A = this chain, B = another copy of it.
Amino acid sequence: MDATNREIIRILLADGRASFQAIGRQVNLSAPAVKRRVDQMVARGEIAGFTAVIDPSALGWNTEAYVELYYDGNVLKSELETNLSTIPQVVGVWSVTGDADALVHVMAGSMAELEDVIELIRSNAKMNRTRSAVVLSRLFQRPRL
């Protein structure tokens, strides 16, 4: 991971569809050389992929919340993942330090739908309680790493 690769990543974060030629102009390389570096970074997993950044409200996802999960006793990470990944509205799950066992990011179309999702999450037998923070507004977000 040298300085040139970091610069290529910086450019691709800002514009994921930048042409290899255009990137090459900025880092003083030919298009094939840029492509080779990008292919390597993808193969090594440093670049996980490319994606569009969508305005959630354009898809009708108007309600967003972060939910802390508190379990009774220990819960396996694999168990968490298995249970939660089946819920489409769950867009991210992290295990964390502190009081809570896990943090879940939920996107829903309405408050009612959010309520249903939280109820579904709570239905796990080992669940002790949940603690939700509904997003009022996204103040800012940098390009995802």
Contact = CB atoms under 8 A, between A and B. Distances in A.
Nearest to A53: B48
A117 interface: no
Assembly stoichiometry (copies): 2
A121 interface: no
Interface of A: 1, 6, 9, 12-17, 41, 44-56, 58-59, 61, 64, 66, 68, 77, 80-81, 84-85, 90-98, 100, 102-103, 105, 107, 131-145
24 contacts: A1-B58, A1-B59, A12-B51, A44-B58, A47-B54, A47-B55, A48-B54, A50-B52, A50-B53, A51-B51, A51-B53, A84-B140, A92-B141, A93-B139, A94-B135, A94-B136, A94-B139, A95-B135, A97-B136, A98-B131, A100-B133, A103-B133, A103-B135, A107-B145
